[in-house]
């Protein structure tokens, strides 16, 4: 009795060579299919990396400026009219135990212009504020150029301009003059932008005594800035309104500027979610492209499939060959997407001056996800190839 022939077995190296037949013989089609996967992976990595880079930049700025700053200002009454702070607000707030530093700005009746020929109505949306000498210290702000107010200049016609105010007035350097409150003031400095106090960017700041004596300021704080113990910020926020204006606590606006920056970052997360959804669609399209390539490949290679089946190849081996072809295209696409996404993140971060951050999880997950998508896309074509009858395949070849 003739013994039954042994089943053929493919070594992993042989299977790998067979799996590369399709990509090697149909390079353009395979490259385009892999490109679809690569674009999806690149989009995921780029969006995630840029978001993390932006977050790292934001956290670095918050660490530098401090997240323990609280702003207390006028609120609004039932008729939506501003409620000014009482004259005692600044002193009362300074008496709160966890409060470490207090400073303030005050409103004036003056306007600032480039010169005395500018019509009065063309204010450029600029304000003139009285400023305490320790304002920059409490806000941890800086000067783009020039000098801040001191005990001598706070009583003189000297002003420090916010960065936007200097730009709108056409002032480029300290030493120039502006028309402020009906007389000439010398610009001693220009502020650098401050994320926690953006309102100072459009202001001309003068010393408190000068504003009170000549610019119609009543000596009352318009906005009070508090630096508190970092762990006691919520406690101070809770009592700041009632402390500043015991008679009308609801008429006091208490805010934490760093919360606004954090909220802005969280708002960007919604956009990130949208872009990641689009990246998921790109991955799906890439998977469909691979499936389409594999299905067409199975139809074109029916003769090859029939010949291999006639020579003893099992259906599982045929399926493994085509599934491996799909996985290889997915892997190549994943690596390509990883490179494109990484370069995009580092290039964008470099242009913005941010620290580049590409999460390690994405570096690992990118190729893995692309391989899984490609494997799922290749299952049907592989099963179709495995189910082909040798005689039908050879007859149609």
Q: pLDDT digit string (tens) for 183-224?
A: 999 999 999 998 888 999 999 999 999 999 999 999 999 999
Look at residues 256, 280, 310 and tell me which one is the last residue of a structural domain. Answer: 256
Domain residue limits at 127: 69-256
Q: What is the DSSP string of 326-378?
A: HHHHHHHHHHHHHHHHHHHHHHHHHHHTPPP---HHHHHHHHHHHHHHHHHHH
Q: Are 358 and 56 a contacting pair, CB within 8 Å?
A: no
Q: How big is the chain by its Cα radius of gyration, in Å? A: 35
Whole-angstrom Cα distance, residue 395 to residue 169? Answer: 86
Does position 6 have pLDDT exceeding 60, yes or no? no
Does position 260 have pLDDT exceeding 60, yes or no? no
Confidence of residue 254 (pLDDT cuts 50, 70, 90): very high
CA-to-CA dists, residue 242 to 84, 237, 288, angstroms: 14, 10, 63
- pLDDT for res 397: 53
Residues 175 and 238 in one domain: yes
Q: Which of 229, 233, 195, 164 is nearest to 58 (CA)?
A: 195
Residues 206 and 300 in one domain: no
- pLDDT for res 31: 81
Q: Are 196 and 257 a contacting pair, CB within 8 Å?
A: yes
Domain tally for the chain? Answer: 2
| Tokens found for residue 9 | 């077995």
Residues 94 and 208 in one domain: yes
Whole-angstrom Cα distance, residue 41 to residue 37? Answer: 6
Say whether 184 sits in a helix, a strand or coil.
strand
Residues 93 and 215 in one domain: yes
Percent of the chain with pLDDT over 90: 40
Q: Are 171 and 190 a contacting pair, CB within 8 Å?
A: yes
pLDDT tens for 328-346 read: 888 888 899 889 988 998 9
Residues 94 and 200 in one domain: yes
Give a yes or no: residue 7 inside a domain.
no
Residues 224 and 372 in one domain: no
Give a yes or no: residue 6 inside a domain.
no
Q: Are 70 and 253 a contacting pair, CB within 8 Å?
A: no
Give a yes or no: residue 3 inside a domain.
no
What average pLDDT does the chain have? Answer: 83
């Amino acid at each position: 009795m003739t013994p039954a022939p042994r089943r053929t077995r493919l070594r992993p190296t042989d299977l790998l060579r067979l799996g590369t037949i399709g990509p090697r013989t149909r390079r353009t089609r395979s490259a385009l299919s892999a490109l679809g996967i690569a674009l999806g992976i690149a989009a995921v990595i780029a969006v995630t990396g840029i978001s993390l880079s932006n977050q790292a930049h934001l956290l670095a700025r918050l660490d530098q400026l401090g997240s323990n700053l609280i702003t207390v200002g006028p609120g609004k009454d039932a008729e939506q009219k501003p409620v000014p702070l009482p004259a005692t607000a600044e002193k009362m707030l300074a008496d709160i135990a966890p409060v470490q530093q207090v400073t303030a700005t005050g409103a004036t009746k003056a306007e600032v212009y480039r010169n005395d020929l500018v019509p009065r109505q063309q204010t450029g949306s600029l304000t003139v504020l009285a400023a305490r000498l320790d304002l920059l210290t409490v806000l941890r702000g800086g000067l783009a150029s020039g000098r801040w107010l001191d005990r001598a200049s706070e009583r003189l016609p000297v002003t420090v301009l916010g960065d936007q105010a200097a730009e709108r007035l056409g002032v480029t350097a300290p030493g120039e003059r502006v028309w402020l409150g009906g007389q000439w003031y010398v610009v001693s400095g220009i502020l650098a932008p401050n994320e926690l106090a953006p309102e100072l960017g459009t202001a001309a700041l003068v010393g408190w005594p000068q504003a009170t004596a000549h610019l119609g300021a009543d000596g009352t704080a318009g906005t009070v800035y508090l630096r508190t113990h970092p762990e006691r910020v919520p406690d101070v926020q809770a009592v700041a309104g009632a402390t500043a204006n015991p008679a009308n606590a609801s008429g006091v606006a208490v805010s934490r500027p760093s919360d606004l920056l954090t909220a802005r970052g969280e708002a960007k997360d919604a956009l990130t979610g949208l872009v990641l959804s689009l990246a998921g669609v790109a991955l799906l399209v890439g998977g469909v492209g691979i499936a389409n390539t594999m299905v067409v490949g199975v139809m074109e290679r029916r003769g090859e499939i029939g010949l291999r089946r006639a020579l003893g190849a099992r259906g599982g081996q045929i399926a493994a060959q085509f599934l491996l072809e799909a996985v290889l295209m997915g892997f190549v696409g994943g690596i390509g997407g990883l490179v494109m996404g990484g370069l995009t993140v580092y290039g964008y971060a470099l242009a913005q001056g941010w620290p580049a951050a590409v999460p390690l999880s994405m570096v690992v997950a990118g190729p893995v996800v692309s391989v899984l998508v490609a494997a799922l896309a290749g299952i049907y074509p592989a099963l179709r190839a495995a189910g082909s009858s040798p005689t039908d395949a050879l007859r149609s070849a």
